[in-house]
Structure 1
C-alpha cells in the first residue's frame, strides 16, 4: 500500500473512532423541558430585563456575524491566493525563522483586520454594564490573548514543519499523534499555566460556603484540590463558576461577582452543575474528542496537500513548506466553522446532563431555577433565543429550557 493509501486508511479509522466515541460517551438523552414550562418561566422573568437582553443580542448580531464572515474571508484570501505565501516570503533566514516570523505576520494580519469588531464589542459591553474595563485594561487582556495564542501557535507550527522536514513521507502519522498529545497536555496545564494569565486566583476563606462546597464535592465523589475565587469583577459584572483541571489540577473556581450577587444556595447549585461535568468525565470526553479531531485534521492536511489545484491557488509547491501557513489558516478556519454546529450540539447535551446531575445532587430544583434566572438576568443573555441561532451556536441549553427542566424534575420527584 502507498503512503497515501495508509493515510486514507488512517483517516477512516480515526473518523470511525470519533463516531464511536461520540456515540458511546455523549449522553443523547436530555432532561425534559416542556415548552409550556419554558413559556411559563419566561413570563415570570422581569420583562424589562428580557427586553434589554434581546436588545443587546440584536446589537451583538451586527458584530458577531460580520466579524465571523470577515474572518473567514481574510483566511480564504490569505490561504487561497499567493498573498499568504508572499507574506511568509518576506521573512529572511532559515525555515524556523520563516515559520515563526511568517506565522506571526499571517495571523497578525488576520487579527488586525478583525480588531475593530472586537473594539466595537467592548464598547457595547461597557454601554450595557457588562464590562468594567477601561480601554487600557481591555487592551492589556487583548495583548495577553494574542501572546498566549502566539506561543501556542509557534509550538504547533514549529512541530508541524519540523516533522515535515524530519519525515517527509510520514509526517502526518507522527503529527497526528503529536497533535493528540498536545490536546491532552493542554487539558492538564491550562488551569495552572494559562488561566492565571487572565485572572488572579485566591483561596476562598474558610467559612460555611467553602465547607459546603468541599462537602458537596466529597459527597459527589469528585476530589478537588481547592476552592478558589477569581477576580472577575476587574473586567466584568457577569456571574459564573466552574470546575477546571483533571486529577491533581482540579479545583472549584467561583467568580467574585457571583459571591456578591447570589445567595449561598444558588452558588451551591452552580457548583453542583460544574461538579457534574467532573463526575461524569466531561472534561475527559472533551479531551478525547478534541484529540481525535486534531488527529483527523492533521491527516486531512496531508491528503489535501496532494490536491494540485489547492496548492496552485495558494502559490506554493507543497503544504509542508512554511509558505503554506496561510493555506493552513484557511483550512483550519473553514473546518472550524463547519464543525461548530456539531460541537455546539454535543456541548448542549453535556451541559443538560450536568444540569440533571446538579438537580440530583442538591435536591433543590427551586434553587436551581432561581440560579438560572439570575445568571440570565445579570449576564443579559437572551433566555429564549431563536431556534436557528440556538441550533447553530448555542453551547448550553437556553435559560427557559433549563428552568423548565428544573420544574419537570420537581414534578417527578
Structure 2
C-alpha cells in the first residue's frame, strides 16, 4: 500500500480506538438532576448574587465572542492566503532561507501574530474581572503572567516545530507516522511534567499546616483508596478571589492542592466536599482517560492533516506546495483552529459527564448532600458564575454541569439515599 493508504487505515484505527476509549471510560448515563429540582435550587440562591453573576457573564460575552471570531479570521487569513507563507519566508531570510530557520523562527512568528491579534480581547477580559472584583491582580502582575505563558508556549512551540519539520524534512512520505507517534508521546509527557514544571511557574505551593482539616483530607483520600503524598496550599489570592481545589500528579507525585481563597471563604466541611469531588477524578482515572483521549486524538489529527495535504486547492490558496514544508505552518494552524472550534462542544460534553460522575463520587464519599449543595452555591457566588446559563451557550462552552444541576443532583442523591 502507498503511504496515503497506510495513513487512511491508521486514521480509521485511531478513531475506532478513540471511540472505544470514550465509550468505555466516559459515563454516558443520564445524571439525575430533575428540572423541578433545578428551579427550586435557583430560587434558593440570593437573587442579587444570581443577577451579579449573569451581569458579569454578559460583560464578558462581547470580548469572548469577538476574540473567537477575530482569532479564527486571523488564522484563516494567515493560513488560506500566501501571507502566512510570506511571514515564514521573511523570518528565514537572514539565514539564507534554511528550512530549520523557517520552521523555528517562521513558525514562532506566525504563532505570535495570532497571539497578538487576541491580546486586546485578553485585556478586555482582565478589565472586566477587575471591575467586578474577581481579580486581585495589578496590570503589571497580569502582564508578567502573560509573558510567562508566552515564554512557556514559545519553548513548547519550538520543540514541536523543530521536531515536526525535522521529521517532514527527512521523511517526506512517512512523516505522518512519526508525527502521530510524537503527538501521542508529547501528550503523555506533558501529563507528567505539568504539575512539576509548569504549575510552580504561576503559583507558590506550601504544605497545609498540621491540624484537623489536613488530617481529615488525608484520611478521606486513604479511605477512598487514593493515597496522596501531601496537601498543598496554592497562593491563588495573589491574582484572584475565585475558590477551587484539585488533585494533581500521578502515583508518587499525587497531591491535594487547595486554593488559599477556598480556605478563607469556606468552612472545613465544604472544603472536604470540594476535595472529595477531586478525589473522584483520581479514583476513576480521569487524568488517564483525558491523556488517552488526547493522545489518540492528537495522533489521529496528524494522520488527518497528512490526508488533507493532498488537497491541491487548499495548498494553492496558502501559496505552498506541501504541508510538509515549513512555509505551510500557518495553514496547519488554520486547520487546527477550525478543527478545535468544531470539536469543542463534543469535548465539553465529555467533560460534563466526567464532572457529574465526580460529583456523585463526592456525595457517596462524604454522604453529606446538604454541604455539597451549599458548597456549589458558594462556588457560584464567589466565582461569579451563572447558576442556570443559556442552554445554547451551556452546550457549546460549559465544561462542568451548571450550579443548579449540581444542587439538583444532590437533592436527588439525598432522596435515593433515604
TM range (shorter): over 0.9
Answer yes or no: is 1:383 the counterpart of 2:383.
no
Q: What is the CA distance between 1:180 and its match in structure 2?
A: 0.3
Structure 1 consecutive aligned stretches of length 4 or more whose deviation exceeds 3 Å:
none
CA distance in 1, matches of 2:11, 2:125: 39
Q: What is the CA distance between 1:155 and its match in structure 2?
A: 1.2
Match of 2:141 in 1: 137
Write the deviation string for residues 85-141 of structure 1: whole angstroms up to 9, x where unpaired: 000001232222222211221111111111111111111000100000111000000
Match of 1:64 in 2: 64
CA distance in 2, matches of 1:42, 1:355: 18
Match of 2:99 in 1: 95
- Structure 1's 30 and 202: CA in aligned 2 closer, same or farther, altered over 3 A? farther
Answer yes or no: is 1:150 the counterpart of 2:163.
no
Answer yes or no: is 1:370 the counterpart of 2:374.
yes
Match of 1:284 in 2: 288
Answer yes or no: is 1:171 the counterpart of 2:175.
yes
Match of 2:241 in 1: 237
Conserved 8 A contact 1:30-1:352 = no
Larger CA deviation: 389-398 vs 157-166:
157-166
Conserved 8 A contact 1:50-1:377 = yes
Write the deviation string for residues 296-334 of structure 1: whole angstroms up to 9, x where unpaired: 111111111111111111111111111111011101111
Match of 1:122 in 2: 126
Residue in structure 2 matching 1:252, options 247, 256, 278: 256
Larger CA deviation: 26-35 vs 48-57:
26-35
When the two structures are superposed, what TM-score results if normalisation uses the length of structure 1?
Answer: 0.99
Q: What is the CA distance between 1:54 and its match in structure 2?
A: 0.4
Q: What is the CA distance between 1:166 and its match in structure 2?
A: 2.1
CA distance in 2, matches of 1:402, 1:235: 27
Unpaired runs of 5+ residues, structure 1, are none
1:156 match: secondary structure: helix
Match of 1:78 in 2: 78
CA distance in 1, matches of 2:363, 2:413: 8
Residue in structure 1 matching 2:166, options 152, 158, 162: 162
Conserved 8 A contact 1:30-1:353 = no
1:90 match: secondary structure: helix
Match of 2:19 in 1: 19
CA distance in 2, matches of 1:177, 1:346: 24
CA distance in 1, matches of 2:167, 2:382: 48
1:202 match: secondary structure: strand
CA distance in 2, matches of 1:231, 1:99: 38
CA distance in 2, matches of 1:256, 1:396: 22
Match of 1:184 in 2: 188
Larger CA deviation: 353-362 vs 141-150:
141-150
CA distance in 2, matches of 1:258, 1:135: 24
Match of 1:204 in 2: 208
Larger CA deviation: 265-274 vs 28-37:
28-37
Write the deviation string for residues 159-205 of structure 1: whole angstroms up to 9, x where unpaired: 11111122111111111111101100100110000011111111111
RMSD: 0.8
CA distance in 2, matches of 1:200, 1:100: 32
Answer yes or no: is 1:6 the counterpart of 2:6.
yes
CA distance in 2, matches of 1:269, 1:333: 37
CA distance in 2, matches of 1:369, 1:269: 9
Answer yes or no: is 1:403 the counterpart of 2:407.
yes
CA distance in 1, matches of 2:171, 2:100: 16
Larger CA deviation: 286-295 vs 243-252:
243-252
Match of 1:332 in 2: 336
2:6 match: secondary structure: helix
CA distance in 2, matches of 1:317, 1:249: 46
Q: What is the CA distance between 1:2 and its match in structure 2?
A: 1.1
2:172 match: secondary structure: coil
Q: What is the CA distance between 1:30 and its match in structure 2?
A: 3.6
1:316 match: secondary structure: coil
Conserved 8 A contact 1:365-1:410 = yes
Q: What is the CA distance between 1:370 and its match in structure 2?
A: 0.5
Write the deviation string for residues 59-98 of structure 1: whole angstroms up to 9, x where unpaired: 1111101100110000000000001000000123222222
1:289 match: secondary structure: helix
Unpaired runs of 5+ residues, structure 2, are none
Conserved 8 A contact 1:80-1:313 = yes
Count of residues in correspondence between the two structures: 413
Q: What is the CA distance between 1:31 and its match in structure 2?
A: 2.8
